[in-house]
């Protein structure tokens, strides 16, 4: 199935990984949102669970190992072209994940990968909805005194 102008929505995953007051972000290599910082993730492959997919995608993009802790949200990401035709449509499963280990490096589908201090998110180009989502999740973690380091 084509990712651009698909005939059906495509299932995808993304990971929120918080470590020592920083969140793992990747600069996207491909559209949609090429060159913009966002959460690591990608498309679910045939025969894998969404949990397996998020672990594989994070490893492929960043070189690190994670453990999914909780499914936080399921949302639609729909991008239309100038004529109104659907160019991209993903159904995204957003997971809170725990960092297990590995050396951080940008790998496939990522131009760069880095831990970004939650206080410095305004200093990078990040999608507004992604920023709001990160802020809300981090606020919830602090309110419940949850640490994932």
Is residue 144's pLDDT more than 80? no
Does some domain include residue 1? no
Q: How far is CA 44 from CA 12, 55, 103, 139, in A?
A: 5, 11, 24, 28
DSSP SS3 for 110: strand
* pTM given for the model: 0.87
Q: Is 112 a catalytic residue?
A: yes
**Phi–psi pair at 142, nearest 5 degrees:** -65, -40
64 is in which domain, residue-wise? Answer: 10-143
| Local confidence band at 78 (pLDDT 50, 70, 90 cut-offs) | very high
% of the chain with per-residue pLDDT over 90? 62
Is residue 41's pLDDT more than 90? yes
Distance CA 24, CA 116 (A): 6
Does some domain include residue 149? no
CATH of the domain at 18: 3.90.79.10
Indicate the number of domains in the chain: 1
The single residue of 29, 51, 52, 112 carrying the catalytic annotation is: 112
């Amino acid at each position: 199935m084509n990712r651009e102008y698909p005939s059906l929505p495509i299932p995808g995953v993304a990971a929120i990984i918080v470590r020592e007051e920083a969140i793992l972000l990747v600069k996207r290599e491909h559209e949609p949102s090429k060159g913009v910082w966002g959460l690591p993730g990608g498309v679910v492959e045939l025969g894998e669970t969404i949990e397996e997919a998020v672990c594989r995608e994070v490893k492929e993009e960043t070189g690190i190992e994670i453990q999914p802790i909780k499914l936080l949200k399921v949302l639609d990401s729909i991008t239309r072209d100038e004529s109104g035709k659907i160019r991209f449509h993903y159904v995204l499963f957003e997971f809170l994940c725990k960092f297990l280990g590995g050396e951080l490096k940008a790998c496939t589908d990522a131009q760069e990968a880095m831990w970004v201090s939650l206080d410095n998110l305004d200093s990078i180009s990040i999608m507004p909805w992604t920023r709001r989502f990160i802020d809300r999740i981090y606020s919830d973690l602090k309110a419940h005194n949850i640490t994932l380091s």
